[in-house]
Structures are given as structure tokens and as C-alpha cells.
Chains A and B, each alone.
Chain A
Amino acid sequence: MNERSTSTERDALDARLAALAARRPAAARPVAGHAGASRTPSATGRTKRRHAAQGSRIASLGLSVASTGALATLFAITNQGSGDQVAAASIVAGPSVGVNVAATAVTATSGLAPASDASGPTPTVVDVTLPPPTGGVSPDPTSAPTSSTAPVEPPVTQAPAAQAQSVVVQGGVFHNKWGDVQVQATFAPDGSLVDVVTLQTPSRDGKSVRINDRAAPQLNAEALSVQSADVHTVSGATYTSTDYRRSLQSPIDAARQVGATTIV
């Protein structure tokens, strides 16, 4: 009786297990595998990996790729490209102190980007000790041109006051991927370029500082030597050299506008 009862129970249990197994699809039966994942047999008999976080995996991958694209786009938008002018040239000492050189004139003579596109700060006028005039003629500030619409290349004789003393002009600020470049040029009463000072060079990191500490004196010396902004690129300082030429061209153009030099 007891044996018969056990047999009946076993049969019932087997039947129930068979019924449960039939209800459960074969493909859903997990097989032991990698931690966090399981393998399920496919229709072909091969096992196919199932990941516990399949959806989250796809989401995180998509989010990562999208973030990379968005950040790169943001950097491209916010980054000003090489050679963008962020401030115009400004005469800081001489007969036309404070004059910001007309952007159109600079563009016309050097092909630089117009300063009206600039979003950066305008250079402030600073006190500069001027060397004494060599011609013995006192400069007359009232007769100096103050308009930024001065002729692009006026004859030297048209601006005698500008010839009477040295003129110091801060060049435009040019931005590249490593930082800003700005030079300041001093023109002697005879119009020659007598001094060039590098006011700004990229200095965001130690490498930039080292490169520009080496390049700036070379560029200054060559500019004085050739009496123009047409200086050679210093090896390893391509960006600085390019923007140095642009920044030095702007004070040359500015000085020429006020008749302080004939350098082109």
C-alpha cells in the first residue's frame, strides 16, 4: 500500500516536471558560462551568449560615442582656429596714442581677418617711455592723425609729426591652438624697425614655454634684421611663427597708416 502510494506520487511528480519542462522554451534554458552572462543553445545547436545587462551595454556604448562626438563638436565650436585675430593693433606711444587701427586697412594690406570679427579684449594703452626725438622737432599731438580711417599707405611727407618721434605699436593678438601671440614693435623717427618685443606667446604648459623661450628671440632678431614681418618659421614653433608674422604685420601696417614708417 505504502509502496504503491510512493510510486503514484513519483509518477505525479514526473508528470508535473515534464509539464513544466514543456512549458519552458528550450532556448531559454541557461547553460553555465561566463560570470554575468549565460549561454543559450540556438536552433542550430550552437550556444549563444546572453548578457545580463545587454540593454545597458548598448546604452552605455551609444552614450559614450555620442558624448565623444558632442565634446569634439563643442571643442571645434569653442576653439578659435589658428590665425584668428582676437584684438586689433594699437598705437601705444607716439603721435597717435590710443589709435586702434582700422580693420579694413589691415585687411587690405596684409590679408588678415577683420578686427570687427574679433571677440577678444581690445589692448589697453600703456605708458611707454619714449626715446628722445632725433630731429630736434617736438611732436605735435594735435596735428597727428587720430582717425582710424587714415590712408593705407600715405607718403611719408604727409605726416611730418609722425616722423618726429619713435612710435610704439602693439600688434594684434592672434590665437592658435596653443594660446595667444602678440608682439610690440617700435619704429624710429626715420621709420625703421628698431625694437620688437614679444608680449604674449603660448605658455599653457612647460613644453610651450620651452619652445617659445627659444623661438621668440630668434623671431625678434630676424624681424629686426630683415626689417619686416617676413620671418622664417622656427623649427618646432610653427604656430607661434605663423602668428608672430601676422601679429608683427599689424603694427607695421598701423605705423604705415600714420606715416611712421614705410616698411611694408
Chain B
Amino acid sequence: MNDLMWFLTRATGIVATVLGVAALCWGFFFSARETGRRLRPAWWLDLHNWLGGLALVFTGLHVATALLDGDLGLRIVDLLVPGAAVDDRWALAWGVIAMYLFAVAVFTSWPRRRFPRRVWRVLHLGSVVGVALAMLHAQQIGTEASTVAFMQGLLVLFGFGVQALLVRVLGVVSRMRR
């Protein structure tokens, strides 16, 4: 049973990170208006919202299965309070902070109109830091971090995220010049 939870912890962690990066890319391409002509902007926005929510769900599963694996010796407080863990304090803290940043981005998207635009934007862009921290968490504490394939996959994901960010930033710069 513990081994099953351990396998699921690792699998959900990887899937949550991939979904987080995908949501990030969809959001950046949408906001940069680089969505092409084939697919409607509404499709991009809808899928961006969905991927973000799905990333949060898989993050929750990752946390739950980690808690259920008794061999990991994690307490609830270790998984909810950044820096509370005795072992691997910072590696776990990055993961906990990333989870909160994802949650804030998702839960503030529904009542978006109740927030001032600037506040909402800051809260939403926190998820970019969240994705970066999730990757750092995976690199520092991931069981597969010692394997070449995992690190290559992580680098590819990082590359996708950076590319989407660049598209967004360059779009803003070009609009400002006009």
C-alpha cells in the first residue's frame, strides 16, 4: 500500500508540474494574442482555466498521497507550512509555496471581477513563480532527479515556460513601442 502511494506521489507530482507549465503557456499565448487564427481566443482561455484547475487538483493528489505514504514520515504541518519540515526543509518548502501560489491563481480567477485589475494580475502572475518553485522542488527532492531522462524532461518543460514568457514579454514591448 505504501509503495502504491509512493508511486502515485511521484506520478502525480510529475503530471501536476506538466499541467502547471501547460497552463502557463496557454495563459501567456492567450494574453500575448499569439493564439493563431485556427482556434478561437475563447478556446485558449477556457483551456487555460481548465489546465490551471487540473494542475491544482493533481497537486492536491500529490500532497495527499505523500501524506498517506507512511514511509515518507511527513506530517500534515510539513505539507501545509513552508519550512516546518525537519528534513529537506527548503526542498519541501518550495513545493508548499508553489501549491499556495497555484491555489491563489485558481481561486481568484472565478471572482476575478471583484478584484482590482492590478491586484488580480499580481495574484495571477504569482503562479509563474509557483511553476518555477514546483520545478525547483522536483529537482531538489524528486526521486527521479538523479536520472538523466527526468532532468532532460524538466529542462524541456522549463524551456517551454521560458519561451511562452518571452512571447508575452516581447508582445508587451512591441505594443509599447507602437
Stretch of B39-47, B93-101, B131-139 lying at the A interface: B39-47
**Interface status of B129 (Cβ within 8 A of chain A):** no
| A64 with B3: CB separation less than 8 A | no
Instruction: Give A contacts to B, CB under 8 Å.
Output: 35-37, 51-53, 56-57, 60-61, 64, 67-69, 71-73, 75-76, 79, 81, 177, 204-207, 210, 236, 238-239
State the majority secondary structure of interface residues on A.
helix
Question: 10 shortest A-B CB distances, which residue pairs?
Answer: A36-B46, A207-B87, A71-B11, A36-B45, A52-B42, A53-B46, A72-B7, A52-B46, A53-B47, A75-B7
Q: Which of A75, A79, A204, A205 has the most CB of B within 10 A?
A: A75
Question: Contacts of A37 on B, CB cut-off 8 Å?
Answer: 42, 46
20 new A-B contacts, CB < 8 A, other than A36-B43, A36-B48, are A35-B42, A37-B42, A52-B40, A53-B42, A53-B43, A53-B44, A53-B47, A56-B47, A60-B54, A64-B19, A68-B8, A68-B15, A71-B10, A71-B15, A72-B8, A79-B3, A81-B3, A204-B143, A204-B146, A205-B141
| A71 with B14: CB separation less than 8 A | yes
* Cα distance, A57 to B44, chains bound together (Å): 11
Q: How far is the CB of A233 from chain B (nearest CB, A)?
A: 13
Chain B residue nearest to A51 in the complex (CB):
B46
Question: Contacts of A71 on B, CB cut-off 8 Å?
Answer: 7, 10-11, 14-15
**How many A-B residue pairs lie within 8 Å, measured between CB atoms?**
92
Question: Contacts of B10 on A, CB cut-off 8 Å?
Answer: 71-72, 75
1/0 contact trace for B47-83 toward A, CB 8 Å? Answer: 1111100100010010000000001010000000000
**Interface status of B12 (Cβ within 8 A of chain A):** yes
Tell whether A57 pairs with B50 under 8 Å between CB atoms, given A36-B42, A205-B88, A210-B87: yes
* Cα distance, A34 to B153, chains bound together (Å): 35
| B14 with A60: CB separation less than 8 A | no
Q: What are 9 A-B interface contacts by the 8 Å CB criterion?
A: A52-B42, A53-B42, A57-B50, A73-B7, A75-B6, A81-B3, A177-B6, A205-B141, A239-B71
* Cα distance, A61 to B143, chains bound together (Å): 25
Question: Contacts of A236 on B, CB cut-off 8 Å?
Answer: 73
Q: How far is the CB of B156 from chain A (nearest CB, A)?
A: 15
Contact for A206 among B12, B22, B88, CB less than 8 A:
B88
Chain A residue nearest to B12 in the complex (CB):
A68
* Cα distance, A68 to B15, chains bound together (Å): 7
Question: Contacts of B11 on A, CB cut-off 8 Å?
Answer: 67-69, 71-72, 75
For chain B, the count of residues having a C-beta within 8 Å of the partner chain is: 35
Chain B residue nearest to A56 in the complex (CB):
B47
* Cα distance, A249 to B12, chains bound together (Å): 38
Chain A residue nearest to B14 in the complex (CB):
A71
Q: How far is the CB of A28 from chain B (nearest CB, A)?
A: 15
| B47 with A76: CB separation less than 8 A | no
* Cα distance, A76 to B12, chains bound together (Å): 14
Question: Contacts of B50 on A, CB cut-off 8 Å?
Answer: 51, 53, 56-57, 60
Chain A residue nearest to B58 in the complex (CB):
A64
Q: Which of A73, A205, A206, A239 has the most CB of B within 10 A?
A: A205
| A177 with B3: CB separation less than 8 A | yes
Question: Contacts of B8 on A, CB cut-off 8 Å?
Answer: 68, 72
* Cα distance, A81 to B6, chains bound together (Å): 12
Q: Which of A36, A73, A81 has the most CB of B within 10 A?
A: A36
* Cα distance, A73 to B7, chains bound together (Å): 8
Question: Contacts of A52 on B, CB cut-off 8 Å?
Answer: 40, 42-43, 45-46
| B7 with A79: CB separation less than 8 A | yes
* Cα distance, A166 to B165, chains bound together (Å): 66
* Cα distance, A71 to B149, chains bound together (Å): 13
Q: How far is the CB of A48 from chain B (nearest CB, A)?
A: 15
Q: How far is the CB of A143 from chain B (nearest CB, A)?
A: 46
